[in-house]
Amino acid sequence: MNTADLGLPVEVPSTALFTDQYELTMLRAALAAGTAERRSVFEVFTRRLPNGRRYGVVAGTGRVLDAVENFRFDPGVLGFLREREIVDEQTLEWLAGYRFSGDIWGYPEGEVYFPGSPIMRVEGTFAECVLLETVILSILNHDSSIAAAASRMSSAAGDRPLIEMGARRTHELAAVAASRAAYVGGFATTSDLAAGFRYGIPTVGTSAHAFTLLHDSERDAFQAQVNTLGRGTTLLVDTYDVAEAVRTAVEVAGTDLGAVRIDSGDLLLVAHRVRQQLDELGATGTKIVVTSDLDEYAIASLAAAPVDAYGVGTQLVTGSGHPTSSMVYKLVARAESTDRKAPLVPVAKKSTGGKTSVGGRKWAARRLDGYGVAEAEVIGTGPVPAGLADRQLLVELVKGGEVVAREPLDAVRDRHAAARAGLPMSATQLSRGEPVLPTEYAHGASGS
C-alpha cells in the first residue's frame, strides 16, 4: 500500500481557498487590463535566516506538489466567491477552469538553503502563478521552519534517535505536517498516528501518567502494561518516586524491560541515577528515554548523560523559537506582452528597510573547496559558469502542469543528512552565528 496516496481522513476538498483575497482581486484586475496572460516568473526565497541560524532546510516540497494538483475551484468554492462578491463573473468563469499548466523548479526537498537562495521558481502566466503564492508560502514557511529545528536537534542528538511528540501542542493538521518535516530533519519516529497513516512514518507510544494514576498502585499499572504490550515496552517512571518506580519496573518486567521514560526533574542527574540503578538490578540492556520540554540546547546538554533516546514536542512544532522561515514569493521576470515568444524582462521591488529583491530568473549552484566541502552558495541570472554546471541545485518539479518529481520521504530524509554533512563543520554549532556559507551573485542576462 502506498500510504502517500491515501490522504488524511480530515483533508479538505480543495486548496483553492488557502489563499489571500488580494490574489483573486489582482487576478480580476489583470484579466480586465489584458495583462493576466503575460508569461511570468515568481521565485521563493528568504532575505535572511532566523537570527543565529547557520543554514535553512527545504521542507514541504512534496506537500506543495499535492497542493498545486488540488488547487481547483469547485462549485462550492465558486459559490462562496460569488456570494461574497469577491470577484466578478468574468473572473469566476476563468477560475472554474483553473488548472496550473506551467513549470515549477526548486531545490530538492531536504536540501539546505541560504539567504537569497531561489528555493522554488514558478513559471507560467501571471494569472496562474499569482494564485499559488499564499499556499506555497504557507507550506514552505511552516515545514522548513520545523525541519530546520529538527535538523539542529538531530545534530545535537548524534546517533541517539529522536521521537516527535508535538501533536498536542499545535493545530491538528499542522501537527501532521510538522511530523513529516521533523522526519525530513532527522527524527526517527512520531507519536502522531495521522502522520504515520498519511506518510508512512514509524509510530511509537506506550502510556502516560494518567494510566499509572488510574490504577490502585504503580505496580498494578506496570503489570497491566507489561501483560498487554510485553516486556519490551517502555514504562513511565516519574509519576511518584523514580527510584521506587525503577525497582518496581524491573521486578514486574524483569531484566528484559525495554525502556524506562523520564518526563520531569533534573534530567541529567536523574538519568545517571536511573542508569546506575538499572545496571545494579541487572537490567543493563534497558534503555532510558527522556522527554520534558526539550530543545536542541537541552539535548546537547545531555550528550554526556546515559540517555538512549529523546522525545520532543513543543519546541519542535514551534520551530524552536522560529515558527516561520520568512520566505517570500516575488515576481522576478515577466514578458513585455502576452505573446508567448515575447522576451522576459527582469523586474524587482525597490524598497528601503531591507525588502529589496534581485530581478531575473535565477539559477543556483554550490561551490566546493578542494576538500569537497561547500564554500559558497552562488546565484546567477545569466549563463551558468562551466565550473558550476554540475553543481546546480534547482531540479524540475512540475512540467507543463504535471508533477514530475515525487519521491519517497525516506529519500528526502537521506538527502538532508547528506546535504548537512557536506557543509563546513561549524554548520552544526548551536552557538549563534552567521550563515555558514556566503551568498555570491553572478549577474548576467535574465534569460527567456
Q: What is the pLDDT of residue 191?
A: 98
Beta-carbon contacts of residue 152 (< 8 Å; ≥ 6 apart)? 296, 320, 428, 430
- Under the banding of pLDDT at 50, 70 and 90, the label for residue 426 is very high
Mean pLDDT along residues 26-53: 96
Q: Above 60 in pLDDT, residue 11?
A: no
How many of the other CB atoms lie within 10 Å of CB of 194?
18
Mean pLDDT along residues 269-273: 98
Rounded Cα distance between 109 and 150, Å, is: 14
How many of the other CB atoms lie within 10 Å of CB of 287?
19
- Pick one of 3.40.50.720, 3.30.499.10, 3.20.140.10, 3.90.1150.10 as the CATH number of 14-146+322-442: 3.20.140.10
Cβ atoms of 362 and 441 within 8 Å: the answer is no
Q: What is the pLDDT of residue 12?
A: 52
Q: Above 90 in pLDDT, residue 303?
A: yes
Report the Cα–Cα distance between both ends of the chain, in Å, rounded: 43
Q: Above 60 in pLDDT, residue 445?
A: no
- Under the banding of pLDDT at 50, 70 and 90, the label for residue 446 is very low
Q: Above 80 in pLDDT, residue 8?
A: no
Q: Above 60 in pLDDT, residue 7?
A: no
Cβ atoms of 357 and 414 within 8 Å: the answer is no
Q: Above 50 in pLDDT, residue 382?
A: yes
- Under the banding of pLDDT at 50, 70 and 90, the label for residue 408 is very high
Q: Above 70 in pLDDT, residue 244?
A: yes
Mean pLDDT along residues 353-371: 89
With pLDDT > 90 as the criterion, what percentage of the chain qualifies?
91
Mean pLDDT along residues 25-47: 97
Ranking 126-130, 176-180, 380-384 by mean pLDDT, the lowest is: 380-384
Please give the model's pTM, rounded to 2 decimal places: 0.93
Q: What is the mean pLDDT of the chain?
A: 94
Indicate the burial class of 74 (C-beta count within 10 angstroms; 0-12, 13-18, 19 or more). exposed
Mean pLDDT along residues 79-94: 97
Q: Above 90 in pLDDT, residue 21?
A: yes
Cβ atoms of 343 and 336 within 8 Å: the answer is yes
Distances (CA, A) of 29 to 22, 38, 81, 201, 377: 10, 13, 16, 44, 38
Rounded Cα distance between 305 and 283, Å, is: 17
Strands 374-380 and 439-442, bridge-based pairing: parallel
Q: What is the pLDDT of residue 139?
A: 98
Q: Above 50 in pLDDT, residue 9?
A: no
- Under the banding of pLDDT at 50, 70 and 90, the label for residue 432 is confident
3-class secondary structure, 115: coil
Q: Above 80 in pLDDT, residue 448?
A: no
Q: What is the pLDDT of residue 353?
A: 67
Q: What is the pLDDT of residue 3?
A: 46
